[in-house]
Amino acid sequence: MHSENKGFSLMHDEYFSHSNKTGEPTNNNARRVMRKLPIIIIVALIGLYLILFIDTNSVVRNAKDIMTGDAIGVVTDGTPLHRYNIKSDFPDSTIEAEITRLFVLHDFLDGYIWVKYYYKATSSSNDYILSGAGPLVSRWKIHRVKGRWEIVEIDEKP
């Protein structure tokens, strides 16, 4: 007893081979994949960049906490981040700061982050501005130490 399968089959010759007007066989599936390949590559690159970008969230958060004085127990003396420790210079001030990442490039061990930032330190009564800067563009050289990113060098052009 032989039953004929009328459904779709991946092994069916018509699925793999079609002929064009000249009678030559063509592969429409390969053409479809080739048309989608640039989109697949772009999506993969965007996904990779998002991973690189999100992986550095802690660095930016740490720098902002140091700027605003929210980093409790963090010693910045002798580190590149000491320049952002505004609270140590104005202990009775209110500090407003914002850091925006412009670009991130790293290999999960070493890399760079380009940021734009500003800060403003005002008197505790908000009567006058004690200090401020920005917006400034800065390049931070980063290195992963025991699973955490650390800023090892800061390059800013005046």
Question: What are the start-end ranges of the H helices in 23-111?
Answer: 28-54, 57-68, 86-89
Mind listing the pLDDT tens digit of every residue in the chain (158 residues)?
Answer: 555 555 555 554 544 455 555 555 556 777 777 888 888 899 989 988 888 888 899 999 999 999 988 887 778 888 898 888 888 888 888 899 999 999 999 998 999 999 999 999 998 887 888 888 889 999 999 999 998 899 999 999 76
pLDDT the model gives residue 4: 56
pLDDT the model gives residue 18: 53
pLDDT the model gives residue 37: 86
pLDDT the model gives residue 87: 85
pLDDT the model gives residue 23: 53
User: In Å, how far are 32, 40, 50, 52 from 44, measured between CA atoms?
Assistant: 18, 6, 10, 12
- The 10 Å Cβ neighbour count of residue 2 is 3
Partners of 139 in the beta sheet?
114, 155
This prediction has a pTM of 0.70
Domain boundaries, the chain: 13-52, 56-156
pLDDT the model gives residue 151: 94
Burial of 6 (0-12, 13-18, 19+ CB in 10 A): exposed
**Distance of alpha carbon 26 from alpha carbon 138, whole angstroms:** 54
**Distance of alpha carbon 65 from alpha carbon 72, whole angstroms:** 9
Produce one character per residue of 122-133: b if its CB has 16 or more CB atoms within 10 Å, e if not: beeeeeeebeee
Query: Could you tell me the fold of the domain covering 56-156?
Result: Nuclear Transport Factor 2; Chain: A, (3.10.450)
